[in-house]
Amino acid sequence: MFDKRLMKMCPESRKYIAGNIILQWCELAMNATMIGLVAQIVEQIWLGTLKTQNLFLYMLIIAVSIIVRWYTQKGATRMSYLASKTIKRVMREQIYGKLLRLGTSYREHVSTAELVQESVEGVEQLESYFGQYVPQFFYAFLAPITLFVLFGLAGSWKVASVLLICVPLISGAIMVVQKVAKKLLGKYWDQ
């Protein structure tokens, strides 16, 4: 689930998360452009109205879309890395600072094994949370709205509406799976 406390702990990572979301959205736009052009080519071939200069222009636009899509995908991966790197640095600094404040009396509050587990494995888990989950969480809301508009402008308001209604069901299913997994992991860690 989305944790506001974690986001407040590292406001530096927000710009990288936002960059990741924007780049994923640009990638979606490039995919939509390519699919739209391929559909237009097929339609014009079917109707027998395809002209050679149009085909050349379409292929050029598709090639540019592929190149831009590659760069946006690479940029989104970079933003993911920077967001996770930032949060890991901040969390480790905070854990280290707390250990310095507690001194050798930290054993009264937490066992050494638990401390090592949290400072290594726990912080590493934040990589997937900040680098993948949070951007995908917001992108999951942005993409259906974008596709709704694109399908609507293409004249398929029924398809756009069905898509807009059904896509949140995916997020709902994911949240149910996460809750079940959280319970199972809670039982595992209790043991």
For the chain, give every domain's residue range: 4-137
Predicted confidence at residue 71, as pLDDT, reads 97
Check residue 1 and give its pLDDT: 58
Per the prediction, the chain carries an average pLDDT of 86
Which superfamily, per CATH, for 4-137? ABC transporter type 1, transmembrane domain (1.20.1560.10)
- For residue range 148-186, what is the model confidence (pLDDT) as tens digits? 898 888 888 888 888 888 877 877 788 888 888 888 887
Q: Are 140 and 171 in contact (CB under 8 A)?
A: yes
Listed residue (29, 47, 2, 9) closest to 149, CA to CA = 29
Looking at residue 35, its pLDDT comes to 92
Q: How far apart are CA 80 and CA 13, in angstroms?
A: 9
- Which pLDDT value is given to residue 64? 96
Name the stretches of the chain with pLDDT < 70.
Answer: 1-3
